[in-house]
Structure 1
Amino acid sequence: MTKGKITEIDPQGSSRMIRTRGGDPDLIILDVRTAAEHEMVRIEGSVNIDLRSPTFEAELEKLDRKKTYLVYCLVGIRSREAAKAMERLGFEKVISMAGGIREWHRRGLPVVGR
């Protein structure tokens, strides 16, 4: 990953990254769906900041720009939008999960909820 460049990986690649870096405090799994969506079903260990919230960018401002962020949503549209905002704000390592939690779940990867 190059600084300022958004990377996109599929759910299998995301799952491998999470397993490989398990417990790494520098890897943040960021769910940009609504709080209700996040509560219903999510990737274990993910944190939630709603892309559509009026405080979204203010919440991003509080985050460490040097950490690695794996960003996901329902199908990948909001995560790409959030990743672009993060890039604009100077985040160094942003990865958008293609297909979102829907594809993650479809491929039988583990979720919390439901």
Structure 2
Amino acid sequence: MGEDESTGRGGYGSGAGPAWGKAVCGLGIFFLLAGLAMVTFGDRLSVSSYALGMICGLIGYGLGARRLGAATVAVSLVVLAFVLVASRGWVAGLNLPGLILVSR
């Protein structure tokens, strides 16, 4: 892992980082779509799939897929916010399963 003479940075020199970054971002988009499918076709609201989508986007961004990683994080964040707002009944016309708040 010596220094790359053209860039002056250390690395493998094969350019495999962006490829792995794109693969991880693709996994994040899969988690995003799986979360949307659970909300749309099921009766569950799972925030963890959107969080996993954002984490995969951050990892992909760190591995070199800059645009795709940033887009994965941004889309996951927007969809998470929309689903949470819709689950509370604040979006007219949507009847998504809501969060159950237990008062003690």
Normalising by the smaller structure, the TM-score range is: 0.3 to 0.5
Q: Which structure has more RCO (C-alpha within 8 Å, separation ≥ 6)?
A: 1
Q: Which has the larger radius of gyration?
A: 2
Q: Which has the higher helix share?
A: 2
Q: Which has the higher strand share?
A: 1
